[in-house]
Amino acid sequence: MVREGKDPTSPVIKLNGVNKWYGSFHVLRDINLDVVRGEKIVICGPSGSGKSTLIRCINALEEHQEGQIIVDGTELNRDLKNIEKVRREVGMVFQQFNLFPHLTVLENCTLAPVWVRKTAKKEAEKTAMEYLERVRIPDQADKFPGQLSGGQQQRVAIARSLCMNPEIMLFDEPTSALDPEMIKEVLDVMVELANEGMTMICVTHEMGFAKTVADRMIFMDQGQIVEEATPDIFFNSPESERTKEFLGQIL
């Protein structure tokens, strides 16, 4: 029997009727979402619509109160073992990079492989250098994050995630904190990753990127998935008035 989640046609991420509240505030409402292996999903929607909360729930940075979230066959519940297992499969890149400021670029990339995966330091360094080459900053390996530009820091953050060899990558507005001239260098790395077959969920308002890589667009508003469509349909003939209005504002 094929274990759920390992079958290439079964969803690698599955959300069933997920609801979440912050106190009395209902932030996620009946979210249903299946993501298959290798699929690229782009989530957009107004500020405060629950996009960050949704993707943070997928690696248990936030807890949901109702419904099921199953990642690569493991259900996220109160079981800490499950949470650890899922976090090992899922890499996350944040708007604010979240690098360790007191560690060099190379040390940022080797910390988790050495301490979490128990990889030998030399091997972790070799892998880290390979990923730093892929994001085109091997020459920055011995610098500290504060010595790098925002675009370089975000590429380090991506390389650092990849060093853990994740099955899935989550991106939460990875270019929103960047100066315009640095956005492309980060998006280029993300496009490459998409082309290599990574399963990706990206919260972003970079619609050029979305059109290039997304298999599916998701529009969220007030904690709900309001629209879900291929980029072609989403951008050219969205169904919901709210989607039309939103696209009118950002395009």
Q: Which stretch binds Mg ion (CB under 5 A): 8-16, 37-45, 52-60, 127-135?
A: 52-60
Taking the least distance from each CB to ligand ADP, the nearer of 54 and 198 is: 54
Taking the least distance from each CB to Mg ion, the nearer of 49 and 74 is: 49
47 binds ligand ADP (CB under 6 A): yes
Residue among 211, 210, 192 at smallest CA distance from 201: 210
What is the end-to-end Cα distance of the chain in Å, rounded?
Answer: 47
**Partner whose binding site includes residue 48, from Mg ion, ligand ADP, none (CB under 5 to 8 Å by kind):** ligand ADP
Q: Which stretch binds ligand ADP (CB under 6 A): 20-28, 79-87, 111-119, 235-243?
A: 20-28
- Give the separation between CA 240 and CA 61, rounded to whole angstroms: 30
Taking the least distance from each CB to Mg ion, the nearer of 52 and 127 is: 52
- Eight-class DSSP state of 94: -
DSSP strand pairing (199-203 vs 168-172): parallel
**Partner whose binding site includes residue 47, from Mg ion, ligand ADP, none (CB under 5 to 8 Å by kind):** ligand ADP
Among 11, 15, 28, 52, binds Mg ion (CB under 5 A): 52
Q: How far is the CB of 240 from ligand ADP (least distance, A)?
A: 17
48 binds ligand ADP (CB under 6 A): yes
Residues that bind Mg ion (rule: CB under 5 A) add up to a total of 1
List helix spans (H) across 6-95: 51-58, 80-89
- Give the separation between CA 214 and CA 61, rounded to whole angstroms: 24
**Partner whose binding site includes residue 27, from ligand ADP, Mg ion, none (CB under 5 to 8 Å by kind):** ligand ADP
Residue among 190, 185, 224 at smallest CA distance from 204: 190
Residue among 4, 83, 69, 78 at smallest CA distance from 31: 69
Residues within the interface to Mg ion (CB under 5 A): 52
